[in-house]
Structure 1
Amino acid sequence: MTSKVRRRTLVLGVTATLLLTGCGGNGEPTSSSGGNGLEKTTIKVGAMPVPDPVSLHIAIAKGFFKAEGLTVEPVAITGGAVAGPQIKSGQLDITQNNYVSTLLAVSKGEKFKLVADMYQAAPNTFTIMVPKDSPIQTVADLKGKTVLVNNFRNIATLAVTTQLKVAGLTEKDVKFAEKPFPEMGNALQAGQADAAWITEPFITANQSKLGFRKIADTMTGQTEDLPIAGWMASDEWVQKNPKTLAAFQRAIAKAQELVSNDRKELEAMLPKYTKIDAKTASVITLGTFPTSLSASRLQKVADLMLEYKYLETPIDVKSVIATPSDG
């Protein structure tokens, strides 16, 4: 081999190595180092072990994210109070959060964006329950009583307050106390409170195991078909990662559509990431799984928050929604 051929072979080898490693001439990774030119090919996504974010797990299992060149690592969270700081610190790229908490944070100056829809209420998916031998029969009987909620000043307290209004009461007529959903049944049974705002699968579990009674469906009247939860990211992250965001949005929408049309897919997935067994998964009452964010639907949440003094000034939710993009 001549020296000219050897030099040419060496140059080709170096060029190939640079291309394979995704590095520029300075040895640093290029900004687009993955499939489909995504800014980030691996992201951490916060999700609670409840039915609401089932589409995330289905999109992973079905390869919807992989088809977009995206690897999603789910991270278990306990709720929006934890997820917000994790989004701000960069520990999470995207997270599940209820809309009331997100809009409340935005009203206080937080730079968050809603990037995809997740879960919408249906009848009997969020109820006020009491022990079977409780003297409480109606919402009006809650005056002076203690009601358990999973978080203060979020969708739980807002939903209960709308039902108190119907009964001629206000939130000042009851005492709210925080308790995680899995602990509410035992706490109520032990007399630590008088009633609890409960969602599935805990509605079914507490009915079957403890004989709890429902005194009100909190998703009726003003809260009928209320949007409950969606996917949230920081405004900075959205601006820096348009292609990654678009890939996430496409995959989630595909999974949401699958769940909406085939409950069996949902029932098969729930036991894999929650403590819901197959039998319970087949009978619990669930809401709906919208495939896209609707400003008109979400405005209902913001308007309700304004009416009940959760917001001091109106919010146009269009300003909070991250516009879908092809990157």
Structure 2
Amino acid sequence: MRRILAAVALTATLLATAACSSDDEKSDQAGVGTKVSVGVIPIIDVAPIYLGKQKGFFSSRGIDLTLVPEQGGAPIVKGVLAGKYQFGFSNVTSLMAAKSDGAPLKAVATGVASTGRPGRDFSAIVVADGSPIRTAKDLAGKRIAVNTLKNLGDTTVRQSVRQAKGNPDNIQFQAMPFPEMPAALQAQQVDAAWVVEPQLSEVLTQGGQVIASNFVDTAPDLTVAMYFTSTQVIDKDAELVKHFTEAINESLKYAAGHPEEVRSTVGTYTKINEVVRTAMILPNWSNGINRPSIERLATLGRQDGIFTKAPPLDELLP
């Protein structure tokens, strides 16, 4: 009798295990997708890729997307080259600097662009309430926060100073994450800061002032950043690159047409209050890359010593 009961129990166990295995297999099959990690910066620029993930633009193309926050474009470039990320979001200066050094990188899509409107761009140089600094010319010799050194912030801030007939040579740049800049301004740890949204609106709600629109001062409709990958990923899985590019382009287009969803999405990956959420100036998201604006950045970057030689744009741009 015991043997019979044992046999029945064993059979029941095997049937249950088989059923669970079948369910697990179905579950696994339902969630099948190539795991893809993307390095991003927790600022408004990358709202489209977060929104695209929510809307299923990536999963519908077989991509299981993970977004990893970093402080700036330079560490993301290193992460892609090291194989930590399959794709990354980076400002064009970081990409040109890496390409000038021979890095095997290739842009696959635009990332974000300036609105081209002075005083109404998503990027600005700001000062705290009560600051004696009134124009970009007054920034000569001052301490200015940027997210990373010898990068996009340096070049565009210097260009605003040049435009205002000031001396850009002795500016003291200090690196810090964008989210820390509003508090640093309030505490007078820096004299000014280069911020983008949502930190721009955060500074303004604290009484801060915009003294220059650095992207607008640099080039009309500046292409600020791009999504990119390594040539190794392109050679290994061209189909994945194709699907990722399609998904990010759909995400950019959707974000451009749904500003209120963008505002809500930003609050899912960076802390903002309702006032900031409503006040944010949204960037220009398009599917095009403005090459002349990138060429302008390349020229200024060489002038500022960021590039030792002209970046090979034909090899970098899609």
**Contact 1:107–1:315 (8 Å) recurs in 2:** yes
Specify the alignment match of 2:251 in structure 1.
255
Matched, 1:160 2:157: yes
Deviation of 1:187 after TM superposition, in Å, equals: 1.6
CA contact (8 A) 1:54 1:266 kept: yes
Task: Tell whether the 8 Å contact from 1:268 to 1:278 is kept in structure 2 after alignment.
Answer: no
| Overall identity of the aligned pairs, in % | 26
Asked if 1:98 corresponds to 2:91, the answer is yes
In structure 2, distance between residues paired with 1:287 and 1:248: 22
Whether the 8 Å CA contact 2:218–2:297 is kept in 1: the answer is no
The alignment partner of 1:43 has SS state of strand
Match of residue 28 from structure 1: none
Q: Is 1:298 the equivalent of 2:291?
A: no
Count residues in correspondence: 286
Counterpart-to-counterpart distance in 2, 1:92 and 1:180? 20
Residue-by-residue CA offset, 1:37-78 (whole Å, 9 max, x unaligned): x9x822111112211111211221111112212211112222
Partner of 2:215: 219
SS in 2 for 1:169: coil
Per-residue Cα deviation, 1:219-248 (whole angstroms, up to 9, x for no partner): 224333211111121111122110000000
Counterpart amino acid of 2:225?
A
Tell me the amino acid that sits aligned with residue 61 of structure 1: Q
Q: Deviations over 1:129-161 (max 9, x none)?
A: 112111111222222221111111111111111
Q: Quick one: which of 187, 200, 203 aligns to 1:203?
A: 200
Q: Which runs of 5+ in 1 are unaligned?
A: 1-20, 22-33, 323-327
- Note if 1:67 corresponds to 2:64: no
Alpha-carbon separation, structure 2, partners of 1:199 and 1:190: 19
AA aligned opposite 2:114: A
Alignment partner, residue 139 of structure 2: 142
Report the alpha carbon displacement of residue 314 of structure 1 after superposing the two structures with TM: 2.2
- Contact 1:43–1:73 (Cα < 8 Å) also in 2: yes
Residue matched to 1:182: 179
5+ long unaligned stretches in structure 2? 1-24
Letter matched to residue 235 of structure 1: T
Do 1:256 and 1:290's aligned partners in 2 also have CA atoms closer than 8 Å? yes
Q: Give the counterpart letter for 1:112 in structure 2.
A: L
Measured after TM superposition, the shift of residue 311 of structure 1 is 2.3
How many angstroms apart in 2 are the aligned matches of 1:286 and 1:304? 26
Tell me which amino acid in the other structure corresponds to 1:301: L
- Partner AA of 2:35 in structure 1: T
Which residue identity is paired with 2:82? S
What amino acid is aligned across from residue 46 of structure 2 in structure 1?
P
- Give the counterpart of 2:311 among 311, 315, 322: 315
Q: For the residues of structure 1 that align with 2:279 and 2:186, how far apart are their CA atoms?
A: 24
Q: CA deviation at 1:163?
A: 1.1
What's the Cα RMSD here? 2.3
Distance 1:65 1:169, change over 3 A: same
Deviations 1:230-278 (A, max 9, x none): 1121111122110000000111111111111221221232222221345
Is 2:101 the partner of 1:108? yes
Corresponding letter in the other structure for 2:279: V
Determine if contact 2:205/2:276 at 8 Å carries over to the other structure: no
Mapped partners of 1:138, 1:310: distance in 2: 25
TM-score, length basis structure 1:
0.81
Determine if contact 1:238/1:245 at 8 Å carries over to the other structure: yes
- What is the TM-score with the length of structure 2 in the denominator? 0.83
What is the rounded CA distance, in whole Å, between the counterparts of 2:40 and 2:61 in structure 1? 20
Displacement of 1:279 after TM fit? 4.2
Q: Report the counterpart of residue 238 of structure 1 in structure 2.
A: 234
SS at match of 1:260: helix
The 3 A distance-change label for structure 1 pair 315 and 86 is: closer
Instruction: Name the CA shift for 1:169/1:296 in 2 (closer, same or farther; >3 Å).
Output: closer
The equivalent residue for 1:45 is 38
User: Which residue identity lines up with residue 116 of structure 1 in the other structure?
Assistant: A
Q: How far does residue 297 in structure 1 lie from its aligned partner after superposition?
A: 4.7
- How many angstroms apart in 1 are the aligned matches of 2:242 and 2:150? 31
